[in-house]
Structure 1
Amino acid sequence: MSQSRRKFLIKAGIGTGLLFGTAYCLPIRRKIAGMVNTAESPYLGPTNDPKIWFEVTPDNQIIFHSPKMEMGQGVFTGLAQIAADELEVGVEQIKVVHASTGSGNIDKFATGGSTSINSLWKPLRELAATMRMMLINAAADQLGVAASGLSTLNGVISGAGKSITYGEVAAAVTDWEIPDTPELKDPKTYKFIGKPTPRVDLMDKVTGAPIYGMDAEMPGMLFGSVARPEGLDSKFTGVDTSVAEGMPGVVKVIVEDDFVGVVADSFVNAEKAKEKLNVNWEINRKWDDFDVEAAIKVGQGKPIEIQKEGNAKKLLKDGEEGIIQSEYFSPIGAHAQIEPNGCLAYVEDDKVTLRMSTQVAEITRKEVASRLGFSKDEVILEPTFLGGGFGRRLHTPNAIQAAVMSKAVGKPVKCFFSRKEEFQNDTFRPPTHNVLKGKLTADGKIEALSHDISSGDVMYGSPLVPGILQKVIGADLGAWRGGMIQYHGIPNYRAVSWRVKLPFATSWWRSLGLLANTFAVESFMDELAEAAGKDPVSFRLDHLSETKADVRLAKVIAKAAEVADYQNEPFGPTDESGNYDRAMGFACSTDVNTPCAHVAEVSIVDGEIKVHKVTCVMDPGLVINPDQVRAQCEGSIIMGMSAVLYEKMTVEDNALYPVIYGAYEMALMKDAPKEIDVVLLENDDNPGGVGEPPMGPIGAAIANAVYRLTKKRVRRIPLRVS
């Protein structure tokens, strides 16, 4: 988001909303919602000092202190490519590490939302170019020549018959001068941007170097374990610690107002002692699956109109003729990342050191500082690689518990969730209920379309989002992601968000509401296309406008149909009944300004849905590393497939289940498509989001293919045909 747009949102929108109240600010509220829906998050960290970003070593290497976290998405490599082109070094000369908060290079936002490359695209090039100029100016002084006569190549500065490496220059500098940012290079001269490049973190991961939060160690560290509730809607009210205190290896039992934890000489001893705690949990109400689904239905809570064009509400009023209506459901989804949450904390007299996997280093250190009474500058968070993130680590208050226990015993304490605790105390993908209504004209065009989205919280209560912004919009920005109508050629459309408060924590999950909402909208688009007697691809194209976003989406739609050789009827060999055994399904969406379309080729084998091939066409704007972008598409598609075909948490007897892998079904290697064909278009000069957009269309693409095979519309995730 540009600074001017950001100022408008905060000052004008929020100010007006608070001044005039809900009844008078609906257009402003919708305006803000629309801006947020298409906004590109700016980088909110320091960008005025290259020295805290780049460290030049004597052996002529560059250590790049990245404020963005590497959690498998390949961001270290993409950022290294961007920096290398402006620094005039090879990518192999750059070592990327996570920036400790003690370095001063702190991202005040987070690593998430598909924003890492996009938000750093301009500031990182400017920082690298300025660092190169700093080295040139220092070399000019050391060589006794004019800076204008010097050139750089592969970390060597040459001119007037002399040369010197970056490492030699830096070793002799004690006081750097930071010049104005020089002119950036012409993109046509880039050596690395836009080219396939091996991952810079590959060697560490292949050799198993100790780089994840669970690998973190400190001399003399102890192990902590925290009692966590198994039941929903539970509050800690007290504990009998007498038995646990006498267990082998126990150093101390720590009782706070909001938690109780055990510190012991080993993880096993800490866990065994925790099991002997007699914890009192006050249960507000008991829940099961039926209660959750009843709570999530559209109509519960307060409706907030987030999008409006024309008068869809009047045209789709109950009782009107010709209305087509469908409803869709998605379940509770776990993050199920490989590495559970945890932290290694050491509280000393004058500082706190944290080593952990987190997507929000700045927020975490602030929370720990506040709890312990330290200044935030006295809390040093040293991020590690993440063993999976997907939004699970966009809030890591578990660091507080580790720090409190460390302070109590005066030694480092390492405290991690068990697998069962991770499943039962996740910040889940919320369940959803979507209701869509449509009305066609006599010639088969959409006259009106509405979408009601009911969901548990995603961003409400998150420290990532200003509370005042949440209040002004009234609806959950994350819950309706992907839920706005993207076909701006429709004359009348409307989207309404319903917020539901659930008895378990729901929050950010990869792509937020995009997966469930696109499943509903794009399945319904196929329903409308069939009712109109139209091909689903041309039907979608017929309802796009001439806006830039719609034009980019149209190109993606057309290209996907072309590359996949899309067929609207079943095809392939026939089964025993003479029915064709394969069909294609089409779906598309735009997320973080990146349009994407999928064609899924599907069959049904022994009553199970099998995805054979997915064609993915995406326009992420300028592509930094095409291999990595394709890998992101592949991973996103398979994760989305796993969610729509297998994954589901259930509520039984006031507890969440399953609590272990296996019982929690996920896609296995055998379930992956044999072919994922990724085609990248580049219809923008800047890189856009990549990690989440391919999640959007996959559920609807599969469901639309299943309908073509069975003539039965599946409207509930996980998709089942029997």
Structure 2
Amino acid sequence: MADNDSSKKKISRRKFLVRGGFGTLGVLAVGTYVFRNPIRRAVLEKVNEMDLAYMGNTDSPMLWFELGKDNVITLHSPKVEMGQGTFTGIAQMAADELEIPMENIKVVHATTATGNIDGMSTGGSTSISGLWQPLRELAATFREMIKMEAAKKLGVPVSELSVQEGVVSGNGKSLTYSEISEGVTDWTLPDTPVLKDISTYKFVGKPVARVDLADKVYGAPMFGIDAEMPNMLYGAVVRPSKIGAKFISATTDKAEKMPGVVKIVSEDDFVGVVAESYIEAENAKQAIEVIWEAPEDLQQEAIVAMMTVGNGKSTIIQKEGDALEGDAVVQMEFRSPIGAHAQIEPNGVVASVEAEKATIMISTQVIGITRKEVSSRLGWDEEQVNVVPTYLGGGFGRRLHTPHAVQAAVMSKAVGKPVKYIFSREEEFQHDMFRPPTHHILKGSLNEAGKLTGLEHHFVSGDVGNNSALVPNMVPPVIGADIGAIRGGFLQYSGVPNHRSVYWHVTLPFATSWWRSLGLLANTFAIESFMDEMAIKAKTNAVEFRLANIKDDVAGKRLKEVIRTAGEKSGYTEKVTNNRAMGIAASVDAGTPCAHVVEVSVVDNHIKVHKVTVVLDPGLAVNPDQIKAQCEGCVIMGMSAVLFEQMKVVDGSLTPTIYGPYEMALMKNAPKEIDVVLLQGTDKPGAVGEPPMGPIGAAIANAVRRLTGKRLQSMPLQLT
């Protein structure tokens, strides 16, 4: 189907749906800089709650939908599928407005050549919520475009046509969508139609099976590591093992003579090997003698000292009432370690650079940014580079950074053939963009009646959004805080008369960045552990203590409801029964409230989680089963981070660099039961992929406190 000249068409209100996101953030930031602290805090709180809008083209359905001869409509998704079920959810949304069966819609990744690129990338739990309005409007518009052509072919006014199952009928005659499209080259773009009432939808709100299920079950070659091109060679890049090492020079004579080596590519910022096989490229890489200039070897103790509240630059992100002072103030400290992404599929890319065009097949969350970086390095226009996204074997923020696409492109250009470059597992661990370690100081005060009168959270973190390709350089210095590190750092107990949260930023000597849930996991662990301790000191049930300190505004009522429901559904009690105890914690992330209740025991001095009750209010659940699966995934990933995972700095290197020594949760560690309860506090979809990560650490720690009397204050949680 060919699109006609869109400049002749009337621009509909869809045009305005793309405004928002970091564009709005930039405007807010400028205002904040002018008016400083009070408005800065208001902006930071708004950013913390903001549901980021879709930042791509919503003018033409032709960029999104392709109608085939078999009555199947292909949806070119600007969001990538990394296991979260996005393709299924957006297929449901589109199918309902397109009036076609689920089996008649196919979802594929949009390449940059289609023009359907999301400036917000895939992340932040916004794929479904961000596309909810624009995608349905585009689908409805496409349906009306087809009906307008059907009216011409059937000789029936559009108002007298009906649509069902991809067939348009009127005056006793019917045509399929494919039949209607035959011979049409000039399509009319109507004004945006009124969307259907949600109650009439057949698929939205239902547990539809995943559209990518069969391919994954049968092992179809769909991931970046599977990507191939004809006459492909293999690349490897020399990387340092020491933190902060700078490349000085390399001796490549030996490597050049090794079997299979096609070329050694020496650039100012990297040295690469191109060979006929993966193992030959790796072997030659090991033979290159490199001189690095590295600072004095760092040790873990130095990192811990560096990451301590009081170091770096501070920003008050939340404040009401007075600061806490005096002997009656309770104070506790908490820490979280360096965390690796440790996704199953290592980063990989296949690049083919020809005379005037480049094709990049890659697992990436930032399709547009990857194209921009490659085109910039080649000195080309962006239109000359086509990025072809693949499915992701785990993302979690790791694939927001794709410099290996640039390196593969440079190597391909040097040899005149496609080059495939895959990280080794050692490279993946040692050169990750890590979750930064954190340190927290919590303060609180109670009156004689056991009511919380003051609450403070002081926390330090390395970069999360800062220094990443996603956040404009102007944002962090102007608003004064890293918008990723402060996620979960705000105190949700705004009913406390005196409360404040203070963020401290420290620049670490190694790269840190986005990790699933950003600062939420560590911040919630500290805040909710402390709240539980205050409830114990107040001799008040932990559920009731929390409910008493939350405001009764709209957001507060939703948070209260998930806490109350979690307590009821789990049968929460503070009694130790059969050597088991319960713990509760709650958080709000990107406007989505969540509460966990866990049941634990201690076996051979190790924490055993038996059951987790999750109550989540994601708003409208497009696919309830998929949301429950996301909650289950967050519980397991969160448990792994909270009970096992940590990277350390030893003799100037990040370690460990392989699974096994880098401990993670195994099947034997999984709870036998994860009970997920969904509430609907709004009439539109909200964030899902990260909010359920927040409470798990504190909920486990709180259960252990009830069981053993010990308050565990550092992740990973260990009793010895």
TM range (shorter): over 0.9
CA shift, 1:243, in A, is 0.8
Of 464, 470, 484 in structure 1, the residue corresponding to residue 470 of structure 2 is 464
Q: Which residue of 1 is the match for residue 30 of structure 2?
A: 15
Q: Which residue of 2 is the match for residue 120 of structure 1?
A: 131
Of 658, 666, 669 in structure 2, the residue corresponding to residue 660 of structure 1 is 658
Say if 1:483 and 1:670 are closer, same or farther in 2 by CA, change over 3 A: same
- When normalised by structure 2's length, the TM-score is 0.97
- Partner Cα separation in structure 2 for residue 499 and residue 506 of structure 1: 12
1:618-633 mapped onto 2 (5 Å cutoff): 618-633=616-631
1:134 has 2:132 as partner: no
- Partner Cα separation in structure 1 for residue 621 and residue 338 of structure 2: 34
Say if 1:7 and 1:234 are closer, same or farther in 2 by CA, change over 3 A: closer
Q: Which residue of 2 is the match for residue 107 of structure 1?
A: 118
- Partner Cα separation in structure 2 for residue 343 and residue 253 of structure 1: 18
Contact 2:21–2:120, Cα closer than 8 Å, also in 1:
no
Q: Which residue of 2 is the match for residue 497 of structure 1?
A: 503
1:538-557 mapped onto 2 (5 Å cutoff): 538-557=544-563
Of 700, 703, 708 in structure 1, the residue corresponding to residue 706 of structure 2 is 708
CA shift, 1:562, in A, is 0.2
Provide the secondary structure at the position in 2 that maps to 1:393. Answer: helix
Aligned residues: 704
Equivalent position amino acid for 1:551 in 2:
K
Say if 1:242 and 1:651 are closer, same or farther in 2 by CA, change over 3 A: same
4+ runs deviating over 4 angstroms? 1-9
1:353 has 2:346 as partner: no
Q: Which residue of 1 is the match for residue 536 of structure 2?
A: 530
Which structure 2 segments of 5+ residues have no match?
Answer: 1-16
Q: Which residue of 2 is the match for residue 380 of structure 1?
A: 386
Contact 1:483–1:513, Cα closer than 8 Å, also in 2:
yes
Equivalent position amino acid for 2:26 in 1:
I
Deviations 1:430-458 (CA, angstroms, capped at 9, x unpaired): 11101101111221111111101111110
Of 399, 410, 432 in structure 2, the residue corresponding to residue 426 of structure 1 is 432
1:368 has 2:366 as partner: no
CA shift, 1:147, in A, is 1.1
Of 293, 310, 330 in structure 1, the residue corresponding to residue 304 of structure 2 is 293
Contact 2:234–2:278, Cα closer than 8 Å, also in 1:
yes
Equivalent position amino acid for 1:376 in 2:
E
CA shift, 1:172, in A, is 2.4
Provide the secondary structure at the position in 2 that maps to 1:272. Answer: helix
- Partner Cα separation in structure 1 for residue 369 and residue 21 of structure 2: 24
Of 608, 614, 627 in structure 2, the residue corresponding to residue 610 of structure 1 is 608
- Partner Cα separation in structure 1 for residue 619 and residue 358 of structure 2: 42
CA shift, 1:232, in A, is 0.7
Equivalent position amino acid for 1:247 in 2:
M
Of 56, 76, 95 in structure 1, the residue corresponding to residue 67 of structure 2 is 56
Deviations 1:155-212 (CA, angstroms, capped at 9, x unpaired): 1111111100011112221111111111100011010000000000011111111110
1:697 has 2:686 as partner: no
Provide the secondary structure at the position in 1 that maps to 2:364. Answer: coil
CA shift, 1:3, in A, is 4.7
Q: Which residue of 2 is the match for residue 203 of structure 1?
A: 214
- Partner Cα separation in structure 2 for residue 680 and residue 7 of structure 1: 32
CA shift, 1:650, in A, is 1.2
- When normalised by structure 1's length, the TM-score is 0.96
Q: Which residue of 1 is the match for residue 5 of structure 2?
A: none
Q: Which residue of 1 is the match for residue 14 of structure 2?
A: none
Q: Which residue of 2 is the match for residue 575 of structure 1?
A: none
Q: Which residue of 1 is the match for residue 10 of structure 2?
A: none
Of 152, 157, 160 in structure 2, the residue corresponding to residue 146 of structure 1 is 157
- Partner Cα separation in structure 1 for residue 508 and residue 62 of structure 2: 46
1:76-87 mapped onto 2 (5 Å cutoff): 76-87=87-98
CA shift, 1:17, in A, is 4.3
Contact 1:77–1:199, Cα closer than 8 Å, also in 2:
yes
Contact 2:464–2:512, Cα closer than 8 Å, also in 1:
yes
Equivalent position amino acid for 2:716 in 1:
P
Equivalent position amino acid for 2:710 in 1:
K
Provide the secondary structure at the position in 2 that maps to 1:694. Answer: helix
1:287-686 mapped onto 2 (5 Å cutoff): 287-311=298-322, 313=323, 316-317=324-325, 320-572=326-578, 581-686=579-684
- Partner Cα separation in structure 1 for residue 53 and residue 626 of structure 2: 22
Contact 2:20–2:55, Cα closer than 8 Å, also in 1:
no
Contact 1:307–1:484, Cα closer than 8 Å, also in 2:
yes
Say if 1:364 and 1:677 are closer, same or farther in 2 by CA, change over 3 A: same
1:223 has 2:234 as partner: yes
Deviations 1:253-288 (CA, angstroms, capped at 9, x unpaired): 011111100000000000000000111111123111
- Partner Cα separation in structure 2 for residue 459 and residue 451 of structure 1: 20
Deviations 1:202-237 (CA, angstroms, capped at 9, x unpaired): 111111111100111111010000011111111112
Equivalent position amino acid for 2:618 in 1:
P
- Partner Cα separation in structure 1 for residue 182 and residue 492 of structure 2: 55
Contact 2:18–2:56, Cα closer than 8 Å, also in 1:
no
Equivalent position amino acid for 1:525 in 2:
M
CA shift, 1:653, in A, is 1.0
- Partner Cα separation in structure 2 for residue 53 and residue 3 of structure 1: 19
Identity of aligned residues (%): 59
Contact 1:233–1:285, Cα closer than 8 Å, also in 2:
no
Provide the secondary structure at the position in 1 that maps to 2:400. Answer: coil
Provide the secondary structure at the position in 2 that maps to 1:345. Answer: strand
Say if 1:70 and 1:184 are closer, same or farther in 2 by CA, change over 3 A: same
- Partner Cα separation in structure 2 for residue 213 and residue 171 of structure 1: 36
CA shift, 1:565, in A, is 0.4
Q: Which residue of 2 is the match for residue 253 of structure 1?
A: 264
- Partner Cα separation in structure 2 for residue 547 and residue 397 of structure 1: 45
1:261-300 mapped onto 2 (5 Å cutoff): 261-300=272-311
- Partner Cα separation in structure 2 for residue 267 and residue 48 of structure 1: 44
- Partner Cα separation in structure 2 for residue 593 and residue 251 of structure 1: 53
Equivalent position amino acid for 1:14 in 2:
A
- Partner Cα separation in structure 1 for residue 604 and residue 250 of structure 2: 52
- Partner Cα separation in structure 1 for residue 248 and residue 488 of structure 2: 40
- Partner Cα separation in structure 1 for residue 666 and residue 327 of structure 2: 46
CA shift, 1:16, in A, is 3.6
Contact 2:21–2:54, Cα closer than 8 Å, also in 1:
no
Deviations 1:113-162 (CA, angstroms, capped at 9, x unpaired): 10000000000000000000001001111122211111111111111111
Contact 1:233–1:286, Cα closer than 8 Å, also in 2:
no
- Partner Cα separation in structure 2 for residue 441 and residue 239 of structure 1: 67
Deviations 1:53-83 (CA, angstroms, capped at 9, x unpaired): 0111000001110000000000000000000
Q: Which residue of 1 is the match for residue 12 of structure 2?
A: none
Deviations 1:34-59 (CA, angstroms, capped at 9, x unpaired): 11001110100100100110111000
Contact 2:311–2:506, Cα closer than 8 Å, also in 1:
yes
Q: Which residue of 1 is the match for residue 9 of structure 2?
A: none
CA shift, 1:91, in A, is 1.1
Provide the secondary structure at the position in 2 that maps to 1:374. Answer: coil
Contact 1:342–1:356, Cα closer than 8 Å, also in 2:
yes
- Partner Cα separation in structure 2 for residue 385 and residue 165 of structure 1: 31
Provide the secondary structure at the position in 1 that maps to 2:704. Answer: helix
Provide the secondary structure at the position in 2 that maps to 1:204. Answer: helix
